[in-house]
Amino acid sequence: MAIIGVGAALANPQLSGVVLALAPSTQAGMASAVTFIVRQAGFAISIAALGLTLGAVNDAAEFAQPFALAALVALLGMIAAFVLLPAKPLQRSTQA
């Protein structure tokens, strides 16, 4: 849980910064609000999904499977983000 919390704490400010940098200045407030709403909806859905996978838990060892599933989904998200990010253009040297 601590690792998930640290990951979320590291990702959220970066996400907000990217959204505000890419949005036109006239729509920065709207972009920030949409990012916040989508983030909160993601938290709510993921907590509900985690609760669904847990069911009735009577032993602490039963938490391992849902958290392994959450880690796998996070890893898949990281891979998808890496693949979907646009490539940086190559910079040519202007020295002659």
What integer pLDDT is reported at residue 90 of this predicted model? 65
**Per-residue model confidence (pLDDT) at position 93:** 62
Across 14-34, average pLDDT: 85
**Rounded distance between C-alpha atoms, residue 61 and residue 63, angstroms:** 5
- Dump pLDDT digits (tens) for 39-82: 888 888 888 877 777 666 677 777 777 778 888 888 888 888 88
Say what percent of the chain tops pLDDT 90: 0
Q: Where is pLDDT greater, at 66 or 22? A: 22
| pLDDT on residue 96 | 53
What does the H/E/C string look like for 20-40? HHHCCHHHHHHHHHHHHHHHH
